[in-house]
Structure 1
Amino acid sequence: MKRKLLGIIDATTYHEDLDDLLTHRSLAALPYAGRYRIIDFVLSNMVNSGIRSVAIFPKMQYRSLMDHLGSGKNWDLNRKRDGLFFFPSPVVGSYPKGIGSFDLFAANMDYFYRSTQEYAIITNCYTILNMNFKPMLEWHMHANCDITEIHHQDGRSLEMYLIKTSLLMKLIETRFETGYSCMKDVVSDIHNDYTVCQYDYDGYAVKIDSIESYYSTSMNLLKPNVWQNLFNNDQPILTKVKDEPPAKYLKGSSVKNSMIANGCLISGAVENSIVSRGVKIGKGTVIKNCVIMQKCQIEDNCYLDSVILDKDVRVESGTHLTGTAGAPFVIRKGTRQGALMNS
């Protein structure tokens, strides 16, 4: 089974509704759940499914993604054979609005020619789920499917596809004759020559495609049933390991129903929030319903409710910032936010 599946992650997608959080990074590298990046979920799913060769196809702003993934060591993909492969797009311009651009794959055909895996799983980079692909592969083979598209049990397509590697290569090579530009084109064509099946996944699965979905799914992580569905010992979500001291809670601090990552220094009050590594929260400051990314500094006597702070933001003393669940207040990476700026 370990040699049967090839992993392919399409990391070219850019959602305009996430523009405030994607100025300096790709969607795949967007921080999530305090210590992870969004791509960690599908990548960990592949590794936990026995996949030992994974190709990632990014398009732009991929420096932070490359820094995060490195050699693939944290996912046990730094191997002499197979392992983690990174294929930045050589094409300037847009790709079809669908996962698995055949033009993108065609520019890296040598990878497919050298692959020995009989089947390939093609995924997007922005779906949060914890799924083992092995049962689906067995089901796909037993049902004699040519292509299997994964759907959630509520009917939503998860934009993930299982296909024989040889058929994928054929689709890539014949794309000009068939007019198929991506996997979505193939499965959407009711007149295609293939047996297209639908595999229903009944676990927790959400797409991050807007500020609202990013915020709401982040807040859902504070619900025990959601957390337990995504994170378990049998199928761990792996990420880049960073050696940092435990969070420190100073006298007078208060934390309720929140996730606090390593290296934080908490002097104020935190409630229903997700706080990433190395964040400093000052005395008298109140943080509610917020997502605070890495190394932010929030000084004394601030009040933040329904706010997303990107990395390295500094909030000066006495600042009040308030958003709503449907429209969280977003501060871009590296911004300095002060009380005088709000007056």
Structure 2
Amino acid sequence: MKKSMLGVIDATMLPGEMGELAAHRSPAAIPFAGRYRLIDFVLSNMVNSDIQSVAIFPRSPYRSLMDHLGSGKDWDLNRKRDGLFFFPAPAKEGQFSRLAEHLDYFNRSDQKYVLLSNCTTIANMDFAPALDRFINEKCDILEIVHKGESAHIYLLSLGLLLDLIKNRNETGYQSVQNVVEDSSSSLTKCQYEFEGFLKRIKSVGDYYQTSMQLLEKDKWSELFNEFQPIYTKVKDEPPTNYLAGSYVTNAMIANGCIIEGEVNHSIVFRAVTVGKNSTVKNSIVMQKSKIGQNCILEHVILDKDVSIEDGAVLRGTPDNPLVIKKGSVERAVANS
């Protein structure tokens, strides 16, 4: 399948849809599952499907996303030919209008087909069977679905994509989704049902619920396996240090942490400190956050570099987790 598909990741999801988690970063760059970013999943799926040229169209702010992906080395996309490309999207309405700003890239591509995806679908998927169906059924556009709902991932020929972009003003179509949803279109539209674990992260609630599901062994095993690895930016850090008095149950804890309190049914990212007699339950704690002594956190999402001072109590609910913004300091007087 090499050289047959061009990967396009539309990372122009509005940051406001992800609340405080996307206040200073693209939704594609939101940390997830202890050591990954949301974009790692669709990007790794493309690489594992032998896609060798991937174009990412991010909306500002995208510094964090570019810092994470770099040259694409960790995904084997730092190539002399093809590889990873960034095309910051202009502030225009409509997917086709944004892609139109970079027609030269598409015109120079020698791939026959385009796999166009959003940036926040969490799955471990081989796109080869979808391409086989697309070709065998002579589809114009193939939509990947999960349990009958669109994953907002589409396959179409490069020629058709160029036609849709160039003729957008005449047809009124502003995105591939518009075409798929138009029942009067003369194009042949097919579906490919993906049966594995798949979640599309569209809100803080989606992010929290999906993260908690990964603490279930069967869900984790569906998403992470040795045959189709999920790649991410490599960081070398020491093992986590579990001090006397620490107690951990059903938790995902990354490298470089210092745990002296209790962590239960939670996800803890790299280089986090949990102080003595503190309890972290049903929560997500991102990289380099520091939790002091005698704290209680329940149904909380701490963004990166948050400091929780001794004695603070922070509680959200399963349906409305409390989000603490990046770099903030929470004191005991701010109990909730």
TM-score of the pair, normalised by structure 2: 0.98
Q: Distance in 1 between matches of 2:335 and 2:215?
A: 30
1:24 partner SS: coil
Gaps (5+ residues) in structure 1?
Answer: none
**Aligned Cα RMSD in Å?**
1.0
Amino acid at match of 1:295: K
Report matched runs for 1:104-123 at 5 Å: 104-123=98-117
Q: Distance in 1 between matches of 2:148 and 2:133?
A: 19
Q: Distance in 1 between matches of 2:335 and 2:222?
A: 40
Q: Distance in 2 between matches of 1:284 and 1:17?
A: 36
Amino acid at match of 2:156: I
- Could you list the per-position Cα deviations for residues 41-96 of structure 1 after superposition, in whole angstroms to 9, with x for gaps in the alignment? 0000000000000000001110000000000000000000000000001x225x34
2:46 partner SS: helix
2:217 match: 224
- Could you list the per-position Cα deviations for residues 139-165 of structure 1 after superposition, in whole angstroms to 9, with x for gaps in the alignment? 11000101001111x211011100001
2:91 partner SS: coil
2:39 match: 39
1:27 match: 27
2:91 match: 92
Q: Distance in 2 between matches of 1:23 and 1:16?
A: 7
- Could you list the per-position Cα deviations for residues 309-333 of structure 1 after superposition, in whole angstroms to 9, with x for gaps in the alignment? 0000000000111111111111010
Report matched runs for 1:1-343 at 5 Å: 1-14=1-14, 16-89=16-89, 91-93=90-92, 95-96=93-94, 101-152=95-146, 154-342=147-335
Amino acid at match of 1:231: F
* Farther-moved stretch of structure 1 (12-21 vs 330-339): 12-21
Gaps (5+ residues) in structure 2?
Answer: none
Amino acid at match of 2:164: L
Q: Distance in 2 between matches of 1:214 and 1:15?
A: 14
Q: Distance in 1 between matches of 2:159 and 2:28?
A: 27
Number of positions where the alignment pairs a residue of Structure 1 with one of Structure 2: 336
Amino acid at match of 2:152: E
Amino acid at match of 1:63: R
Q: Distance in 2 between matches of 1:137 and 1:33?
A: 29
1:13 partner SS: coil
Report percent identity of matched pairs: 55
Q: Distance in 1 between matches of 2:44 and 2:312?
A: 39
Q: Distance in 1 between matches of 2:2 and 2:240?
A: 39
Amino acid at match of 1:220: Q
2:320 partner SS: coil
